[in-house]
Amino acid sequence: MLFKQFLNDDLGCASYLVGDEHADVAVVVDPPYEVEPVLEEATRRGVELVGVLETHTHADHVSGHGRLALEHGIPVRVHSAAAAAFDHEPLEDGTTIELGDVVVQTIHTPGHRPEHCCFAVVDRSRGDEPWLVLTGDSLFVGDAGRPDLAIEAKEGAEGQFHSLRRLAELGDGVEVFPGHVAGSLCGAAMSSRASTTIGFERRFNPALQGELGDFLAAAMAPQPPRPPNMERIVELNRGPFLGAQPSLERVDAVPGDAVVLDVRRTAEFAAGHRPGAVGIPISGSSFATRAAFVLPERPVVLHAGDEAEARQAARSLHAVAIFGLAGWQEGGGDEQLEPISLDELERLLADDAVELLDVREADERDEGHIPGSRHLPYRTARAAAEAGLLDGRPVVTICESGPRAAIAASVLQAAGIAARPVLDGGVATWQAHGGELASFRRCGS
């Protein structure tokens, strides 16, 4: 049996190559838009890709099924409830795909989306029972997929509850390989581990504990923000096949309608960048998701340390449907982003001289925040600036450790608002140094 997991660490997404090396055939499950690593692995193993299987229509990243179909003639399969507008072979519950001695069995598991399917994999050279199951956005390591991205949350949660119980009927030793690990917005509490087992999850995963009422209460609690570009990504993944994007070229000038995205490290951006640039380091976590949250719908010119860094950023942006890349340039410039220390912040707050923006998410802020700070998640900074919602004082941004504060400050600076980020630490550091925190307690907690 051939089995290979491909992880996109930036998005927390997983794709899989499954097949039979003796029969020289394989399929790819939930292919990434950057299909080259999958194709290279298939070539290295000497297998022919004979199909693409989609667990569902993805909402947080662009699938590579269109590229595989257009560029390599590989047929695509997805459940009929997806209402896909591209040529495909419909999957139904119980559909089997034979790959030599390897059999892929379709398990329809609605909940995250109505069309969602899992794929149990049997290696007949070992036996007739599944060896592993690819669970997509149904069962995660320590969590379950959110139910509110496609249909009404209660209906989705009810479907998810019953689908998870069906998966739990598989044997304890069946290995579970999910479609996401930590870093994705498709679940709130998933682990960074790349796999687990049915037995382990049945014992320890809260989503597999209790009755329907308990599951509904947890599933309908506040969720992470919806993935950026969600509606556009869903339509791209459901619509006609999408091919490769034009090659990224170096440009001499920034078009007048373009926004500059500087992907160098925060320290480099702070030391000098083009006026109006937004800084999101490619070296940081969740680069593509953060960029999709804060960038306006305008052409993008990348500022990078070198061509390799620019191309890496372009690939990541393509994965979240940011395709309007007008080129790249080497980063640098005359404008600076001046960080602020916690000691200086304390003095300025005592004089009421700055507006302190806590740019974390609501659940983080509720656990503890600096009194007098205003909650403004980093992803909403541009909209707040454009709407004139800030009070006119100089702004300081703070998060947990610095990265989101830097992004928010760069967005505000690009909008013409004087902003300084706390880069050396954050709210927890403030508390560790003796600073006061306030907290919100939710009802029932």
3-state percent helix, strand, coil for the chain, nearest multiple of 5: 30, 25, 45
SS3 at position 399: coil
Output the pLDDT for position 223: 80
What pTM does this model have?
A: 0.94
Mean pLDDT for the stretch of residues 336-350: 96
Kindly report, as residue ranges, where domains of CATH 3.40.250.10 are found in the chain: 259-330, 342-432
Assigned CATH class of 2-238: alpha beta
Q: Are 60 and 36 in contact (CB under 8 A)?
A: no
Domain 342-432: what homologous superfamily? Rhodanese-like domain (3.40.250.10)
Q: Phi and psi dihedrals of 212, rounded to 5?
A: -60, -40
What's the rounded mean pLDDT across residues 306-315?
A: 98
pLDDT by residue (tens digit) across 160-214? Answer: 999 999 999 999 999 999 999 876 676 666 677 899 999 999 999 999 998 999 8
Tens-place pLDDT, residues 224-272 = 888 899 999 999 999 999 999 999 999 999 999 999 999 999 999 999 9
pLDDT recorded at residue 398: 98
pLDDT for 119-146, tens place per residue?
A: 999 999 999 999 999 999 999 999 999 9
Q: Is the pLDDT of residue 303 over 70?
A: yes
In sequence order, what DSSP letters do the residues of 103-136 get, joined into one string?
EEEEEE--SSSTT-EEEEEEETTT-SS-SEEEEE
pLDDT above 70 as % of the chain? 97
**Could you tell me where in the chain the CATH 3.60.15.10 domains are found?**
2-238
pLDDT of residue 182: 76
Q: Is the pLDDT of residue 33 over 90?
A: yes
Hey, what are 136's tokens? 């997509």
> Is domain 259-330 in CATH 3.40.640.10, yes or no?
no
Residue 34 φ/ψ, nearest 5 degrees: -80, 90
What value does the mean pLDDT of the chain take? 94
